[in-house]
Amino acid sequence: MALSGSRYLIFGLLFLGMVGMLAAPAWAAENEVAAIKVAAPPAIDGKVDDLWSKAEAATFTTSGGANSGTSTVTMKAVYTDTDIYFLVEWTDPTESLRRSPWQKQADGTWAQLKDPSDKGGDNNLYYEDKLSLIWDINVEGFNQQGCFSTCHAGEAGKPYGNMYTPKEGQLADMWHMKTVRTSPVGYVDDQYLDATRYDPAKAKEAGRKSDPGAGGYKDNVNEAKTGPAFTADDQPAPPYWILDDQKKPFADAYKAGDEIAGIVIKPPTEDRADIKGKAVYSNGKWVMEAGRKLSTGSKYDVQFSDMKKEYQFGAAVFDNAAVRHSYSGILKLKFAEEMAPPTTAAPAATPAPKGVCGPTAVLLAGIVPLGLYGLRKRRL
């Protein structure tokens, strides 16, 4: 079939477009986070240092959660000789910190605020904003399904399913930022997933467990479960947490409607304390910084020991929800010594086709005209 001159042009442009997509830099893929090496680490305070401008942002959307239901997430990563750091920003229309506080009633009693629709670990009203990252260690199917290989919905006893790995011996590393329970004391909860199935008496959390270590947080409730056990000088709430080293035995000197934090918090120890982190809310989004050793030596942690390896993970955003999170697809972390800027012009004398740069442009500058010439010659 003969090709007109305009069809030559269209074919050439389509060909260049396809090659241009193939030639796009690896770090441009929206599901890939490229960690670049830096000389000094960022401060982990939830404030965006100038250092972060050196790293390329990966942007993706999570969907399927409670309340807002979706979120736009951007991630950057940098690393030093010993540690890795992440900057994660995610959209959230409201800052949610009112996690199950105690409220004094008109008759002088205390009641803990609860979601009336909560039928067991499914609070979507009086909770906190959270973000979690799940890193593959050796989970079967993670490279094809991502976090879905560990999520099991529709099982008895849980309104929103359970999390566990497919087989005994398979593990995933979970980083869980909790804006009430962990951020105020500067860490991300270091957890993991194993193959434990749900049991209402022995394993209510199924395969989700905290790394070994003490500390963390505990409910602020008295032995009779009729009110708070502790208060602090900064109560009534907000804040909706009480620092463990500032807690005082509860003495009721409050008026009707006052609220007391439902949780007492402190930093964890040992393996559970591996990840430092801070999340700050402003202008409709959360900004989280987190950092950890590249290699912790713990079997419950992903080890970033091979700079040539690709590390797969998934992200989940909890908008004032205990479990009903929105979720991402499969995400990937790669390491680079430095982020090479895109080339804007080809070094060859022949102008590079628009959208293609570097050595690919040089190659195409010579090959494409010859290819089109070959088509014309065959037509003649």
Question: Can you give the pLDDT at residue 7?
Answer: 39
Question: Can you give the pLDDT at residue 349?
Answer: 34
Average pLDDT of the residues in 347-355 = 33
Question: Can you give the pLDDT at residue 338?
Answer: 59
Average pLDDT of the residues in 18-32 = 47
Q: What is the CATH topology of the domain spanning 30-92+129-212+269-336?
A: Immunoglobulin-like (2.60.40)
Question: Can you give the pLDDT at residue 160?
Answer: 83
Average pLDDT of the residues in 360-375 = 30
Question: Can you give the pLDDT at residue 220?
Answer: 98
Question: Can you give the pLDDT at residue 360?
Answer: 29
Is the overall model pTM greater than 0.95, yes or no? Answer: no
Question: Can you give the pLDDT at residue 159?
Answer: 76
Domain map (residue ranges) of the chain:
5-24+343-379, 30-92+129-212+269-336
Average pLDDT of the residues in 246-263 = 98
Which has more pLDDT, 215 or 343? 215
Which has more pLDDT, 37 or 17? 37
Which has more pLDDT, 347 or 377? 347
What is the 3 state secondary structure string of the chain?
CCCCHHHHHHHHHHHHHHHHHHCCCHHHCCCEEEEEECCCCCCCCCCCCHHHHHCCCEEEEEECCCCCCEEEEEEEEEECCCEEEEEEEEECCCCCCCCCCEEECCCCCEEECCCCCCCCCCCCCCCCCEEEEEEECCCCCHHHHHHHHCEECCCCCCCCCEECCCCCCCCEEEEEEECCCCHHHCEEEEEEECCCCCECCCECCCCEEECCCCCEEEECCCCCCCCCCEECCCCCCCCCCEEHHHCEECCCCCCCCCEECCEEEECCCHHHHCEEEEEEEECCEEEEEEEEECCCCCCCCCCCCCCCCCEEEEEEEECCCCCCCEECCCEEEEEECCCCCCCCCCCCCCCCCCCCCHHHHHHHHHHHHHHHHHHHHHHC
pLDDT in tens, 47-74: 999 999 999 999 999 999 999 999 999 9
Average pLDDT of the residues in 8-15 = 36
pLDDT at 1 over 70: no
